[in-house]
Structure 1
Amino acid sequence: MSTFQQFPFVSVNGRPYERGVQYGRAAVGRVRASAAMYGQTLHALGYSASARAALIGHFETMIGELDASYLEEMRGIADGADVPFADIVMINARTEVLAKARADKAEAEGEALLDGCTGALVLPERSATGNLLHAQNWDWRADCVETGIVLRVQRDDGPDFLTFVEAGGLARSGMNSAGVSITANYLESDRDFKQLGVPLAILRRKVLDQPVFANALKAVATTPKSCSNNIMLGMAEGFAIDFECTTNEAFPLYPGADNLIVHANHWVSPVARAKLVDTGCENSADSYYRDWRVHKLLNQHETISRDDLKQALFDDFGTPFSVCRPPREGVRHSITATVAMVVMEPALGEMDVAPMPALNRRFTRYRLKGDPVLLDAPSV
């Protein structure tokens, strides 16, 4: 079992632009790698410089309309890392930018939108500590193990937050000091890209900005989106909900009698399934057993600890099409894998993260307060 380099920890504070500059300087190599990765994909799709600028400019406008301070922060990241501002916008809208580019250049080759993932929420009633647990395996391009970071933002203009994110991005999986936690994973439907909305990465950041949980729910349920996505929300006080979202509608799923929510990459809500066509099955058929496997493994425990949750997410049933995916060739020739496992206990302000968990069992514990700590590898 290999041990991978742990994800760098970047802690910033101050006003939006100042935070961005600190972020860009601290993660300069990884920010540039993120920009190069997605820039090369757009180039492979045949986009000219002017077409790329127009595409990214559209999403810049939408981000600014939602919250202009996000653009200030992105300008700071760009200046700190000495990369073009448009590259930072591209990173924060990469799902939408790449998908629209493929739609506009349908004949070109590109990787599929398999931002796969298996997520789980454990209510306090089932948790060994009596605290809500929130976890996810993030499945995407294997080379993103070299671009991921853990970002902590300490500020006076909202709650502090901690997020695992691609370098240059404002947020991905994370939690804030108000006890709000979020993960998100790929869904696909026949409504996708019939309109253009707020980039999903920015929506996740909007959730982490909320000091009140009800406003986090509102942000997810009412913000227009370009494509489908599954968004799992936790509240440290003891509530969990999953929103299966399409571009203009959100379908809630609640914990079952076992006080768990587990979600992979297929639509579950009966209401959603009656109204939509799930168009993602071709690329994620394994989704139909991944959530079942995690449910089954978790329900072997009367109470569930963080280690129990990790063991369920390490599951290799059906490998390489498993809950924890080793690097393998994707549907369009890119190498995909479970890039990171993220396990959060928001009431304690702690997030355990392991890079490439199919090949590595070492976690680092990152904190809303205090320094990161490298943990011992759990038993197999």
Structure 2
Amino acid sequence: MSLMGNADPLIVRASGGPRERGRQYGSAARERVLLSLENYERVYETFAGLPWEGATALAETFVPAVARVQPDALEEMEGIALGAGVAFEDVLALNLRTEILFSGKARKIAAAGGGAAPGSAARAPGSSAGVPGECTSFCDLRGPEPVVGQNWDWIPFSHRTVVVLEAAPERGPRWVSVVEAGLLAKFGMNAAGVTVLTNALVTSLDRGAPGMPYHLLLRSLLESESVDAAVDTLRTVTRSSSANYLIVGGGRGVDVEARPGGADDLSLRRVERGGYLIHANHFLGGDGEFASTGADHGPRVMPDTLFRSERATALAELMPRPSVAGWHEVLSDHANYPDSLCCHPNPREGELEQGSTVASAVIEPERGLMHLVLGHPCAEPRVTYDYRDFFGVRG
């Protein structure tokens, strides 16, 4: 792997079986895992109303559902706990942050009798939205080769917990993911040519019912041999959380908007050559596609989602030719600052309500290249990771 630039991220390469990979990961990222635990204890209490003991107890109710579908994930989390010197249930609670956090927020909205916020106005500076906005992702197939990527926005403490995790499992393709320390996966790509991008979504159906958790599903998708296999994984499991999965490979993309449940709770959009798609933290189809089964709370929980989607689309339309530099500029945009595509902490908001772009990636999947910024893409260096040797492919 070649690393160009001045950034100095924590890169963890783990190999072998699930427990051994977890142990290597937990040991290498121990200080960041501890920092994740320290901060999520505050986050769960603030947004979900759960003390840490309540969060771990809720997380443990998911173990049977995970054991039926992805037992290796439990073994790997045990390894992470061993390597980091923490309890298994602590690592489990980190990996269920979406189920704990957003289900708690959805329950609070339901208790208040609230619905989704109307309209498409951006968040006004100084307003309190509660949970910060999460991600803006894109898939651009208008050029000769795909250019895809995303910004990951989250609470500023995550600048100190991010890890570039590179895995060489005993079975299946090698993969890389940009992830919070202690979690199994977030966005990334693998040696089979599959790239996985993602956005958190929130609906009135997100109540934290046990099923396959969001971040464990992201790991399953990164282990897929093809786009179709990844989509089949989403169809064949019972999912606990709403989320968007933008899966790219073989010159095409599939965007899967998912609500808690099974195959009937998915909406698919295909991205073909000559087209592009942008996704933030709300359903593109709106409530109309599933009005009888739930409401989209994304625009209420993360009000800047609507603006980010509209702004990125407008900038994409102005791009004469898809390129890494062009999409880097889109992800660096400051319209509606600080709640912009390149998100900066708003000093008018509380510490845990602030959002910040923690990582920004533009990926060329057919070249095996990830152009990554850890921090704000407007200011920090863009570093190019060449994974062709690690993946065992050239071209």
TM-score (norm 2): 0.83
Cα distance, 1:68 vs structure 2: 1.0
Match of 1:41 in 2: 43
Residue pair 1:64, 1:71 contacting (<8 A) in 2 also: yes
The answer to whether the aligner puts 1:354 opposite 2:368 as a matched pair is no
Structure 1 segment 56-71 matched on structure 2, within 5 A: 56-71=59-74
Change (3 A) 1:105 1:243: closer
Check the 8 A contact 1:183/1:232 in 2, yes or no: yes
Counterpart CA distance in 1 for 2:13 and 2:215 is: 19
| Aligned ranges 1:315-354 → 2 under 5 Å | 315-328=333-346, 333-334=351-352, 335-354=354-373
Contact 1:283 1:331 in 2 (8 A): no
Preserved CA contact (<8 Å) 1:111 1:332: no
Indicate the residue corresponding to 2:255 in structure 1: 242
Contact 2:133 2:304 in 1 (8 A): no
Match for 2:284 among 262, 265, 268? 268
CA distance in structure 1 between the partners assigned to 2:108 and 2:285 by the alignment = 33
Separation in 2 of the partners of 1:174 and 1:137?
A: 12
1:5 to partner: Cα distance: 5.6
- Give 1:137's aligned residue: 151
In structure 1, distance between residues paired with 2:34 and 2:6: 20
- Asked if structure 1 preserves the Cα contact closer than 8 Å seen for 2:201 and 2:281, the reply is yes
Following TM superposition, by how much is the alpha carbon of 1:13 offset from its aligned partner in structure 2, in angstroms? 0.9
* Deviation, structure 1 residue 301: 2.9
Compared CA separation, residues 258 and 283, structure 1 to 2 (3 A): farther
In 1, Cα distance between equivalents of 2:365 and 2:376: 22
Secondary structure of 2:57's aligned partner:
helix
Matched, 1:251 2:267: yes
Q: Report what 2:33 is aligned to.
A: 31
Q: Using the alignment, how far apart are the partners of 1:87 and 1:146 within structure 2?
A: 19
Matches of 2:204 and 2:248, distance apart in 1: 28
Cα RMSD for the two superposed structures: 2.8
Cα distance in 2 for partners of 1:33, 1:365 equals 27
Report the counterpart of residue 11 of structure 1 in structure 2: 13
Distance 2:83 2:383 in 1: 26
Deviations 1:308-347 (A, max 9, x none): 1111111111111211111125876522111110121222
32-41 or 70-79: bigger deviation: 32-41
Give CA deviations for 1:142-195 in whole Å, capped at 9, x if unaligned. Answer: 110100111110123110001000011111001111111111112222222173
Mapping of 1:282-321 within 5 angstroms? 282-321=300-339
C-alpha displacement of 1:43: 5.2
User: What CA deviation, in whole Å up to 9, does each residue of 1:24-51 have, x standing for no partner?
Assistant: 1211111111122112334566646653
SS at match of 1:207: helix
CA contact (8 A) 2:345 2:356 kept: yes
Instruction: Mark the runs of 5 or more structure 2 residues left unpaired by the alignment.
Output: 112-127, 391-395
CA contact (8 A) 1:159 1:209 kept: yes
Q: 1:222 to 1:209 in 2, by over 3 A?
A: same
Secondary structure of the 1:154 match is strand
CA distance in structure 2 between the partners assigned to 1:330 and 1:173 by the alignment? 30
Secondary structure at the residue paired with 1:347?
Answer: helix
Determine the structure 2 residue equivalent to 1:224.
Answer: 238
Corresponding residue number in structure 2 for 1:157: 171
Identity %: 30
Q: Which shifted more, 254-263 or 182-191?
A: 254-263
Which of residues 222, 229, 247 in structure 2 aligns to 1:233?
247
Q: CA deviation at 1:290?
A: 1.7
Residue in structure 2 matched with residue 375 of structure 1 by the alignment: none
Letter aligned with residue 37 of structure 1: N
Q: Distance in 1 between matches of 2:53 and 2:326?
A: 50
Do the aligned partners of 2:346 and 2:355 also contact (CA within 8 Å) in 1?
Answer: yes
